[in-house]
Structure 1
Amino acid sequence: MAGLTIATFLAGIMMIIMGLLRFGDLIKFIPKTITVGFTLGIAVGIFVGQLKDFFGLSMGAVPAEFVEKMVAYAQHLNTIHWPTLMIGMIALLIQIFWPRVSQKIPGSLVAIIVTTAIVGFGHLSVKTIGDLYTIKAGLPTFTMPELSFGLVRQMISPAFTIAILASIESLLSCVVSDGMIGSHHRSNAELVGQGVGNMMSALFGGIPATGAIARTAANVKNGGRTPIAGMTHAVTLLLILLFLMPYASLIPMSCLAAILIMVAYNMSGWRTFVHMLKKAPKSDIAVLVITLVLTVFFDLVVAIEFGMVLAAFLFLKRMSDVAAVRQWVDKDSLDDAELSENTDLKHVPSNTVVYEIFGSLFFGAANDFLNFNHEEGKNVLILRMRNVPAMDISGLEALEETLEICQKRGMTLILSHVNKQPYHVMEKAGFVEKVGQENLCENIDASLKRAASLAK
């Protein structure tokens, strides 16, 4: 237990550091296809996890894995406890129809009160929280584990794992709530807050805690929109812990299952999922479905990791596909009809060939930029780079090879309209010096003028 306490405390410190270093901003790089997929996957997991209590199945511990869980349910369908199912259905119907009566009082609260009263006054043999769990009123005691350098060093690796997983799940909860209420969370503040919470939890014997998507969705569905809702939630739990635990033990388990089933439905975002299946590109659909399947059959961490890798590869493929190199055509070589359709063409000196590059010059597309046609009588090659927003080392190597080819053929390489990021890469690698500052021109007009001056 001392190891878990130390690991949780260290994880809290790490989360605070990540928040202060603004690591929370990285959550924006998770694509919508992944958030929609794992949200629906979590909803499916929550729904399936409540079936035992909702139907009152007489079975042992529910298996952790999805397939084994469904097999176990199927094997025990003949053990359905009908009074339990009736209470669950009543709780479900109250949550569905109560909003038509009142929007101010949550339907889940009404369902708890009504079903608890029915079970209590009707003396129904329905499992309650108190029947399955031992709960006591009062605050947990302050716990300070015995510290040793060896134990702390041993717990650093588990603490880092806890911090990463807790950060991911908490921030993903924020992303889900953003989608439900149309707002924007503060990722770094969330990490700091979760870090402080985990540090305090460890000192009172608690286990690592994260922002939970199910509770967040329930909060939003019942009107929560601001941090006050979370604070109210915490205070309410504290009051229940101190004064109402004997009454909480009377709540039917099937009622809680019905509440979580409604939470799963409300958070699932199935309409968005179906819309994406109909409208999104095939590559996005692949990420969407794979993330859903991995979340259901494995877990959230595997789904996020695989989904991010797949999304990254598909993004690189798209960037590579849209990248292109096009050769300019001199307007003097066109007839009147073609000129009328290409009014923005410029006169290209007879000693010059011009290529325009479109798209980022990176490793996924760099090889396509080496296929320049060599024409007799040309001693200048202009590369127009105004549509190249970014470049990596592979793109730089492609330019260096192009420069070497030009030098072997007695040609001068001129770069036109180089943007800030590619220029920084070239300058840092010494490529600007190799090309010559005079051969880096501000725009195409200056490049053509420079090329004309090099005519033999």
Structure 2
Amino acid sequence: MNILKFIPILDTLRHYNKSDFKFDLTAALTVAVVALPQTMAYAMIAGVHPAYGLYSGIVLTILASSFGSSNQLATGPTNAICLLIAAYMVPFVGQDNFFANLFLLTFMVGAIQFAMGVFRLGSLVNYVSHAVIVGFTAGAGIIIAMGQLNNLLGVKLPGGHLSSIDKVVICFQSLDKMNYTAFGIGLFTIAVIILCKKISKNIPGALLGVVFSVILVVALDLEKYGVKIVGEIPKAIPPLSMPNFSLSAVSDLSAGALVIAIIGLVEAVSISKAIASQTQQKINPNQEFIGQGIANMGGSFFSCIAGSGSFTRSAITFQNGGRTRLTGVLVGFIILIVLFFFAPYAKYIPNASLAGVIMVVAYSMIDKKAMVKVLKTNRNDAVVLLVTMLTTIFAPELEYAIYAGVALSLLLYLKDSGVASVRTLAPIQASDGRFVEREINGEKNTAEAQSISIIQLEGNLYFGSASDLEKKLSEAYNDSKVYLIRFKGGAIIDITALEVIESFINRAMGDGRRIILSGVTPKLHKMLDKMHIIHHVGEENIFMEDDEVFASSGKALDEASSFVRKISYNVQEKAVQI
């Protein structure tokens, strides 16, 4: 049974619910329809023949779905990855070993990803917060729609790489040249999808919209009206290939492989987590790393270019009801079947119809409820969401949005964690040692607390909060005879914070005040001993953390009260003698 842990598809098949098959098949058919032209286009971005995009759409999708963690993640060629491939393969263009080096790059990307999964580095993606995911998803939906506007309007774009913003600008500048027939087909597809959803969520609206569009193109010969179609699709299975495992090639491609591997993992896991936030599936980042690694390593021997999770195809999988990882496996086999038997018919798929499908998907990717919740609940998260979304839309590369969101999240966290939680406790005269908590606010102590000051230090205290800790301890200093420093819930206390506490202790003892420490954990006691604070304060003034709530502080308070009474008695005795 251990093998099921490492090959998730076996576990899926072992417990597969037959009622899920119609949903998985419907989603797979819809994704395959979009994947056919999309993978071909991405291959062209990578600078290779469209057939290599189809090979990747078959092999990578099957392997990643079989070994990955997400049920809905659709793996294959993506825009960002293909752009990077083109950039790092420029030195090899025109050489006889171009494709051998290309497949080596694919293998190296997979090997790095696989190694990161094996060494359990998947926890790194935990630094991608929910606000980042919501903002990234919304931004991605917007740029996907922007990128398809020209296909929806039937506007021809100039050659070369264009950003989504460039495409939108050119589209608006070329409205007088738009193809109304193509625009009509796109709107017709959108209308079919919306209508089907209103009738029943189980009706494959996207698939029906594309099929009806193909019928219209063939029956009315819409090509003569300038409606662009997918065109000829090569009939072939992914051919075997052999990467160029020479040391010089490995050295030349190592930097590019590392960049592509990391960006691919960020994309794949971010997409998986975005969808899982709605499906409630628990994503295992390490397993996803392994799945992506196996897909790329295996794909390198079947003429595949490196790939990652596709936001568009993954969203289509989710929106069209795909329930298990079998959806991705079916997508790969459907593309293979199309290449064999249905290429003559698939070539009539109009680009405008596909643009309509993607427009609906892009709109659904913007989780309005989640955005409102984040924007209303926490100011820091709201800032992170908006920055991530805007960076996704306007940054030249998609991965910059994740980097910006994560960096901003960490900066805001560090800013908040730089505040030390220091509170005073005014003791109530009760036998059980109960306390009423009162924040330090610069006021003088009440009559009850003039003799004993109880200072409570909460949470993590480290170098980032040391300055604030020093300030608040200074404000807490008064004319009390005893300072009872209580540690509460301190998971982390570093040497910088301890030096601030030590300085406060030295000041108080230098003024003849007594210091008592309570709630001391064994770990903290060891640190205090190494800094000689225990020796300075005295072991009798250290009260260890007790399992009973407030027990340690209660004992410490009794000791402090006894000390104050003793001082008062001595003062009275001296007064009588005088």
What TM-score results when the alignment is normalised by the length of structure 1? 0.87
Distance in 2 between the 1:109 and 1:238 partners? 18
1:183 is displaced (CA, Å) by 2.3
Distance in 2 between the 1:407 and 1:71 partners? 72
Deviations 1:298-330 (A, max 9, x none): 133221222212222222333345x43233335
Aligned residue in 2 for 1:142 = 240
Aligned residue in 2 for 1:284 = 381
Unmatched segments (≥5 aa) in structure 1: 333-338
1:100 is displaced (CA, Å) by 4.0
Tell me whether 1:446 sits opposite 2:446 in the alignment.
no
Aligned residue in 1 for 2:486 = 384
Distance in 2 between the 1:103 and 1:248 partners? 25
Contact 1:138-1:241 at 8 Å conserved across structures: yes
Identical columns (%): 29
Aligned residue in 2 for 1:173 = 271
Aligned residue in 1 for 2:34 = none
Distance in 1 between the 2:530 and 2:303 partners? 53
Unmatched segments (≥5 aa) in structure 2: 1-97, 438-446, 546-551, 568-578
Distance in 2 between the 1:420 and 1:162 partners? 46
1:429 is displaced (CA, Å) by 6.8
Distance in 1 between the 2:529 and 2:304 partners? 54
Deviations 1:309-353 (A, max 9, x none): 2222222333345x4323333546xxxxxx9xx974599998643
Tell me whether 1:20 sits opposite 2:118 in the alignment.
yes
Match among 122, 145, 156 for residue 254 of structure 2: 156
Match among 26, 50, 56 for residue 148 of structure 2: 50
* Residues 1:219 and 1:377: Cα distance change in structure 2 (over 3 Å): closer
Structure 1 stretch displaced more, 139-148 or 111-120: 139-148
Number of residue-to-residue matches in the alignment? 442
- Letter matched to residue 297 of structure 1: F
Secondary structure at the aligned position of 2:488 is classed as strand
Contact 1:137-1:244 at 8 Å conserved across structures: no
Tell me whether 1:118 sits opposite 2:227 in the alignment.
no
Pairing of 1:43-442 with structure 2 (within 5 A)? 43-61=141-159, 64-125=162-223, 126-130=227-231, 135-277=233-375, 279-298=376-395, 299-321=397-419, 323-331=420-428, 344=435, 352-370=452-470, 371-372=473-474, 373-376=476-479, 378=481, 380-419=482-521, 438-441=540-543, 442=545
What TM-score results when the alignment is normalised by the length of structure 2? 0.70
1:166 is displaced (CA, Å) by 0.9
Structure 1 stretch displaced more, 88-97 or 441-450: 441-450
Structure 1 stretch displaced more, 136-145 or 323-332: 323-332
Supply the RMSD in Å over aligned alpha carbons. 3.0
Distance in 1 between the 2:526 and 2:230 partners? 64
1:438 is displaced (CA, Å) by 4.7
Secondary structure at the aligned position of 2:251 is classed as helix
- Letter matched to residue 129 of structure 1: V
Contact 2:518-2:553 at 8 Å conserved across structures: yes
* Residues 1:201 and 1:349: Cα distance change in structure 2 (over 3 Å): same
* Residues 1:283 and 1:245: Cα distance change in structure 2 (over 3 Å): same
Deviations 1:246-274 (A, max 9, x none): 32211111111111111111222134224
Distance in 2 between the 1:377 and 1:273 partners? 51
* Residues 1:290 and 1:427: Cα distance change in structure 2 (over 3 Å): farther
1:149 is displaced (CA, Å) by 1.5
Contact 2:425-2:435 at 8 Å conserved across structures: no
Contact 2:453-2:480 at 8 Å conserved across structures: no
Pairing of 1:6-17 with structure 2 (within 5 A)? 6-17=104-115
1:217 is displaced (CA, Å) by 1.2
Contact 1:214-1:263 at 8 Å conserved across structures: yes
- Letter matched to residue 231 of structure 1: V
Contact 1:59-1:76 at 8 Å conserved across structures: no
Secondary structure at the aligned position of 2:222 is classed as coil
